[in-house]
Amino acid sequence: MRLYATDQVSISSVQADTLKPGQSFEVSDDLGKELLKKLPHAVSETAPKAKAEAAPPKKAEAAAPANKAEAAAPLNKAEPKHQNKSK
């Protein structure tokens, strides 16, 4: 019987690691019926539907505040080297 994890669940007879939501796994019919009875919130016979993508975050409607001073050159940078033009 093919079942699907609908929530994060640990079933050691199926897999050593935790089953992730949406992950499918195969078990015997007897064990499948037992899991469906004991863990109806965590396993299902039907594949979970894909979740809709989250809406992108809204951009700020107003412009950024104008109280920031213009960025000055970083103080830790050395001044540009003058090239020696003598031959």
Task: Give the domain extent around 23.
Answer: 2-44
Domain for residue 21, yes or no?
A: yes
Domain for residue 13, yes or no?
A: yes
Q: Which of 36, 37, 3 lies closest to 19 in space, CA to CA? A: 3
On whether the CB atoms of residues 10 and 42 are closer than 8 A, the answer is no
Give the CB-side neighbour count of residue 80, counting CA atoms within 13 A: 4
Taking all residues of the chain, what is their mean pLDDT, rounded to a whole number? 78
> Global pTM?
0.54
Task: Fill in the amino acid letter for 74.
Answer: P
Q: What pLDDT, on the 0 to 100 scale, is given for residue 49?
A: 74
Residue 8 has pLDDT above 70, yes or no: yes
Extended beta strands in 1-87, E state = 2-5, 24-26, 43-44
Q: What pLDDT, on the 0 to 100 scale, is given for residue 29?
A: 94
The 10s digit of each residue's pLDDT in 23-64 is 999 999 999 999 999 999 999 998 877 665 556 666 655 566
Domain for residue 63, yes or no?
A: no
Overall number of domains in the chain: 1
Domain for residue 15, yes or no?
A: yes
Sheet holding 2-5, edge to edge: 24-26, 2-5, 43-44
Q: What pLDDT, on the 0 to 100 scale, is given for residue 76?
A: 64
Domain for residue 28, yes or no?
A: yes
The 10s digit of each residue's pLDDT in 60-76 is 555 666 655 555 666 66
Q: What is the rounded CA–CA span in Å between residue 48 and residue 5? A: 8
On whether the CB atoms of residues 59 and 26 are closer than 8 A, the answer is no
